[in-house]
Amino acid sequence: MAEIPEVVAHRGASADRAEHTRSAYELALEQGADALECDVRVTRDGHLVCVHDRRIDRTSSGRGVVSALTVAAMAEVDFGRSAAEYGVLTLDELLGMARASGRPTRLFVETKHPVRYGGLVEHKLVALLARHGLAAPDDPRDSPVFMMSFAPAAVRRFKEAAPRVPTVLLFSRFTGTRRGGVLPPWADLAGPDVRLLRDDPGFVSRAAALGRDTYCWTVDAPADIDLCRSAGVRYLATNSPGGTRLHLADPDSAQFGSVTG
């Protein structure tokens, strides 16, 4: 039987709690997620915050562009969905949550582009990891932090600044030689959309033959979970870490979906 993928909580347990909130990540940890995933952007006052969109309108009670707002301004904004949860989550806070979880918990950090401040987000990420002693792990395979982006220039820029921190090149279509599993030297893992694997599950083994593990997103349906496991995906990003872990442990179980713990 294929090895069980590591379960990565996509924006936290975002099927049950508002994405990128403290409670979403707390629940993901309670549900036993192996890793946490977040998107980061730079605020006007230079902080890295966990927000997917360019604006905070969709995910909060406030309005405005992240790069034009300060952390203090966003402290007055409700980011909750069914329960009030004020204040934007900073990457520094999330890193602290992962390290305080009482067990090894990786953090997959996606830098968003295009953005007003260009490559500043990668430079800020390297500086934050350096402050925590995480920018140069002794063994990259044991790194508690992985960097990801859809922007090749961003991944290359980060790798040049922190060569021992693993990187993931995210993509939603095959271009050039990528279908064959070939990645640039500055990308350590392949990061395909699960829809690509539905059509071509053999991609995972081709990448593995070239020394590249696969991080697959965003995997919620039982059939996709089974596909990722049988294909040999190493890291599986899901909005439902609890339900996904249950299904991986017992694929024949009828119980699946949100597990509020």
Name the one residue in this structure whose structure tokens are 């792990």. 137
Of 253 and 168, the one with more pLDDT: 168
Which of the residues 20, 47, 52, 247 is marked catalytic?
52
10 is catalytic: yes
Q: Domains plus CATH for the chain?
A: 6-249 (3.20.20.190)
20 is catalytic: no
CB 91 within 8 A of CB 128: yes
Give 112-139 pLDDT, tens digit per residue. 998 888 899 999 999 999 999 999 999 9
Mean pLDDT value across the chain: 95
**For residue 41, what are the contacts with CB-CB under 8 A and spacing of at least 6?**
48, 49, 51, 54, 66, 67, 112, 115, 121
CB 79 within 8 A of CB 60: yes
- Residue 176's CB is within 10 A of a number of other CB atoms, namely 7
Q: Is the pLDDT of residue 258 over 60?
A: no
pLDDT of res. 254: 56
Which of the residues 10, 20, 47, 247 is marked catalytic?
10
CA distance 237 to 247: 14
Q: Is the pLDDT of residue 90 over 60?
A: yes
- CA 233 centroid distance within chain: 15
CA distance 89 to 20: 7
Of 172, 168, 176, 123, the C-alpha closest to 143 is 168
**For residue 96, what are the contacts with CB-CB under 8 A and spacing of at least 6?**
none
pTM of the predicted structure, to 2 decimals: 0.96
